Amino acid sequence: MERLDLRKLTGAHLKPYRQMDDDAPMPEEGAVLVSLERLTAESETLLAHNYPVGLLVPGQAKAADLAPWLDKVALIAIRFEKFSDGRGFSLAHRLRDEQGFGGEIRATGHLIADHAEFLLRSGVTSVELSDPLAVDHFIKRLKLYSLWYQDTLDARPTILELRHGRTRKRLAS
């Protein structure tokens, strides 16, 4: 498996996480990914370990259900079951915008290069890809786009901000 940081366009610094089945014994060392069910059931033992524990959730998971764990896990991995299933984008958006999660969100599963830019702008920070060629395609696409109309959930300005020469204000204020 290859890893890519969508902003830095390299994966060298990214930690590999081992995906654990719910009944598999925990390894002695190395970072692991566990399901919400397992984390909920075994949180005390899991979080007491001195290796990083990430939460692996499907795209249809509810952000609010993950809320209690967001400050306890090292990373959230969103699994895309099928490349055409866009629920993971909304989940990532909610984790950032609704839950205020500031940690790493990694997309896994059936990803295609056409997702690259959309993932980044939905709040996903890294991806796990099956082969090096896919990494090249992701990088190429991320370099292709320099402008967007929608909010990016980060400091990069939108077209609207560029046009009007200022950052957005809140409607309510």
Partner 1 sequence: MYRYDDYDQTIVRQRINDFRDAVERRLSGHLSEEEFKLIRQMNGVYLQLHAYMLRVAVPYGSLDSRQMHKLAHIARTYDKGYGHFTTRQNIQYNWPALRDMPDILEELAAVDMHAIQTSGNLIRNVTADPYAGAAAEELADPRPYAELIRQWSTLHPEFSFLPRKFKIAVNASATDRAAVKFHDIGLQLKNDPQQGRGFSVVVGGGMGRTPFVGPILRDFVPEAQILTYLEAVLRSYNELGRRDNAFKARIKILVHELGKEAFSEMVEQEFARLLPTADDLPTVELARIRSQFITPTFDQLPDQDADYEQALKTDDAFAHWVAVNVVPHKQPGYAIANISLKPYGGIPGDISADQMDLVADLAQTVGHDEIRATHAQNLVLPHVRKRDLYTVWQALDKAGLATANLDRASDIIACPGLDYCVLANARSIPIAQEISKRFAAKGREDLIGELKIKISGCINACGHHHAGHIGILGVDRKGEEMYQLTLGGSGAEDASIGQITGRGFDEAGIVDAVDTVVDTYLGQRKTDETFLETYRRLGPAPFKEALYGTA
Query: What residues make contact with partner 1 under the rule CB under 8 A?
Result: 60, 83-87, 89-90, 93-94, 98, 112, 114-115, 117-122, 140-141, 144-152, 158-164, 168-172
Sign of the C-alpha dihedral computed for residues 158, 124, 78 and 62 taken in this order: negative
Spatial distance between the Cα atoms of 4 and 125, rounded to a whole number of angstroms: 9
The residues with which 31 forms a beta bridge, in sequence order, are 17
Q: How far is the CB of 90 from partner 1 (least distance, A)?
A: 5
132's tokens: 């090096």
Question: For residues 48 and 171, which CB has a smaller minimum distance to partner 1 in the complex?
Answer: 171
**By C-alpha distance, which of 106, 122, 128, 126 is closest to 154?**
122
- Can you list the pairs that 142-150 forms with residues at least 24 positions away whose Cβ atoms lie under 8 Å? 142/6, 142/9, 142/116, 142/117, 143/9, 144/117, 145/117, 148/117, 148/121, 150/121
Q: How far is the CB of 70 from partner 1 (least distance, A)?
A: 17
128's tokens: 């796990």
Question: For residues 15 and 137, which CB has a smaller minimum distance to partner 1 in the complex?
Answer: 137
Q: How far is the CB of 31 from partner 1 (least distance, A)?
A: 28
Question: For residues 71 and 114, which CB has a smaller minimum distance to partner 1 in the complex?
Answer: 114
Q: How far is the CB of 32 from partner 1 (least distance, A)?
A: 28
Please answer whether residues 111 and 83 qualify as being in contact, where contact means their C-beta atoms are separated by less than 8 angstroms. yes
Q: How far is the CB of 37 from partner 1 (least distance, A)?
A: 20
